[in-house]
Amino acid sequence: MHTPLLRRRDFNWTLLALASRGFVAPVQAAPSAPAQRILVLGDSLSAEYGLARGSGWVALLQKQVAQEKPGFEVINASISGDTTSGGRSRLPALLKRHQPSLVVIELGGNDALRGLPMAMTQGNLLDMTKQAQAAGAKVLLLGMQMPPNYGPDMARQFEAAYTQVAKSQKAALVPFFLKGVGDDPEPLKWFQADRIHPNEAAQPRMLANVWPTLKKQLK
C-alpha cells in the first residue's frame, strides 16, 4: 500500500509546525562580491628596497585602500632593478592571474640609470598601457624625472615620454612620483645612504603624490 502524497494544504501546515518548533531551513547568505584588484607593477621604489617590510608606499596604500575603498585590494608585483622591458614581459601573466581593474605602472627609472634608448622606454610604457587596457583595466602611470646631470634636453624627453603615453591612451598620470622628495631643497634627508632609494620617512610623501589621482580611478 502506497503512502498518499501530502496535499498542498497539509504540506503548508507541516512547514508552519516545523517553524514553530525551531526547525527552519538555514538561509544561505548571498556570496560577497570579489574584491577588485589594484596591480602595482614597479621597481625598487615600490618593492621596499632597503626598508622594513610593511613600511613602503605600496603597503601604506594597502592601508589607505582598506579604510577608504574596502572593495579593493592591492597586489604588489614590483621587483627591485626591473626595467620597462622586464615589466612588459611580466605583465601578460600578471594580468591573466590577477585580473586587475587598475594597473599602476611605476617603471622607467632604471632605464634612465642604465642609459637605455628613450624610444624603447616609451615604447614599453605604451605597450604595457595597451596590454592592461585590452584586459579591461584602467592604467595609472607614475612619471619619473632624470637627475640634472643628464642634461636638460634628456630630462625633457624622459618626462615627455610619460605624458605622451598617458595622453595618447587616455590613461591617468602622476607627473612626478617623487615630487617633494627628489626635488626637495634638501633631498638627502629623504634618501637612504645610497642617495638613490627613498627612505622610510619619504614613503608617506610618495603615497600622497599618488593617492589623489589613484582614488579617482576606483569606481
Active site residues: 44, 194, 197
Provide the strand spans (E) within the chain: 36-42, 72-76, 102-106, 138-142, 172-174
CA dist 65 and 92 (Å) reads: 25
CA dist 19 and 14 (Å) reads: 9
Asked if 39 and 104 count as a contact pair (C-beta separation under 8 A), the reply is yes
CA dist 86 and 107 (Å) reads: 9
Residue 39: φ, ψ to 5°? -100, 120
